[in-house]
Homo-oligomer: A and B are copies of this chain.
Amino acid sequence: MTTDPRVERTRLHVLQQARELIAADGTGALTYTALAKRAQVTRPTLYRHWPTPTELLVDLVLQGGPTLYPYPGTDAPTVVRAFLRSLRDGMGDPALAGAFSALISAAEHDPTARSALHEVTQNRQAALNTLLAPSSVHIQPPELAQLSGAVLFQRFIARTDVTDAFIDEVTDRWWHARPEHRHDDEHP
């Protein structure tokens, strides 16, 4: 397959240069010409690896996405808190945040971007549920939307600091809104 050392070498190198370029001047400056110059690579090489800029963004997000997750075993709110913090910290990287937001925008009219977002969402939900398994808690899509949505809204739209206190409050609201908390305090 693609075990050629050359492709992996330039691929990783270019992706890293792309990250630094985004971090420095934003996704608007992520042009094939500029990237080729920065990465000391010719433009045709970039086109061979990523025929479309979207594919480049996808690689940046998918590779930068699976950051280290918290260790499982503790109670559910603790796991969720750690999960949201890792999401916040991940989006603290300007390169990942830039690529991610650009991908969201591209997804409006680009099926490739859409499926990449779908994959990211699935991966993160699956990872969270794996961590929650010992607690016998299973997150449903609406819950994930509320939890991750709150953090991402604060980060990308309200654009205020996503503090630990904010994450604690979001987690608490989620925990107390669970069905078994609504009318009694018992749980099997």
A interface residues (Cβ-Cβ under 8 A, vs B): 25-28, 94, 97-98, 101-102, 104-110, 114, 117-118, 121, 141-146, 148-154, 156-160, 166, 169-170, 172-174, 176-177, 181-182
Contacts and interface: CB of A to CB of B under 8 A. Distances in A.
A8 B18 CA distance: 41
Contact of A146 (B110, B141, B159, B173): B173
9 contacts: A28-B106, A94-B108, A98-B105, A117-B158, A121-B158, A142-B170, A152-B153, A152-B157, A172-B177
Contact of A176 (B105, B117, B176): B176
Classify the secondary structure of A's interface with B: helix
A104 B101 contact: yes
A117 to B, nearest CB: 6
Given A101-B108, A176-B176, A182-B176, A146 B117 contact: no
> Can you tell how many copies of this chain the complex includes?
2
A27 B108 contact: yes
Nearest to A156: B104
Contact of A159 (B105, B109, B114, B149): B114
